[in-house]
Amino acid sequence: MASVDSMLALLDSLPLSGWGISDISVDTTPRYRNAISLLKAYNYPLDNYDPHDFNDFLLHDVKPALDNSVEVVSDFLDTNNIPFHVVTNQRKNPLLLTGEYSQKKAAVRAGLGWIGKNTLLITPNFGPRVRLATILTDWELPVSPSRMMPGCGYCSICVDCCPSMCLKNVNWEPGVSRENMIDIARCGETNDAIQHCICGVCLVACPVGQNNKIGTVIQR
């Protein structure tokens, strides 16, 4: 089997904006030991933001680029007979808009950012303007160091500009549920109203990372 160092070197070689590894063995009845979080920042002109154009950009530009990195890691694990599972974006519960595993939770555990008042992952370098992919693995890998993150504090820009007024101005901390932070049904109604595209106003408005150049790597 390949060495752990070779796995880390592979992750370092990928065209990503950041990556991290978290321990998920603390979860209830875990099937895997670790989660590998891969992060790709958006290279999108936010000044010209339009929800339909932005939705197409995510699907045709960012998603394929991130999927390629996922495929490289998956091939590496498969070649070395290491059990793994790529977390999908399919909705486990369409009504609650929940997936099979919280990729944001894994990313926070891996030290990549914090959960903002908009319930998105907020990264220090890029704010919420990132796309995540997560690979669960049975291979015991070194966990990325946790970091002190600033959090949203008193900032409420995303709350104030939300067109559906679904954000509850709650700072996240471990144990705070998504339902305490957002009326997810009302948010979903707004997305449906623009033909199933991502509203994204809270993503665009977040001031974190606005002045940073896309492509700066978040150190693990």
The whole-chain average pLDDT of the chain stands at 84
Mean pLDDT, residues 14-37 taken together: 88
Return the DSSP state at 218. B
Q: Which long-range contacts (CB under 8 A, 24 or more apart) does 139-142 make?
A: 139/4, 139/7, 139/33, 139/34, 139/77, 139/82, 139/83, 139/84, 140/33, 140/34, 141/4, 141/7, 141/8, 141/21, 141/33, 141/34, 141/36, 142/4, 142/8, 142/21
pLDDT on residue 84: 93
Residue 190: count other Cβ atoms within 10 Å of its Cβ: 17
Q: Is residue 119 a contact partner of residue 182, using CB atoms and an 8 Å limit?
A: yes
pLDDT on residue 54: 72
Extents of the domains making up the chain: 4-148
pLDDT on residue 95: 43
Model confidence over 92-144: pLDDT tens digits?
A: 444 444 467 889 989 999 999 999 999 999 999 999 999 999 999 989 999 99
Q: pTM, whole model, 2 decimals? A: 0.85
Mean pLDDT, residues 58-81 taken together: 90
Separation CA 132–CA 152 (nearest Å): 20
Bridge pairing between strands 98-99 and 114-115: unpaired
Per-residue confidence band for 214, with pLDDT thresholds at 50, 70 and 90:
very low
pLDDT on residue 198: 73
Separation CA 182–CA 147 (nearest Å): 25
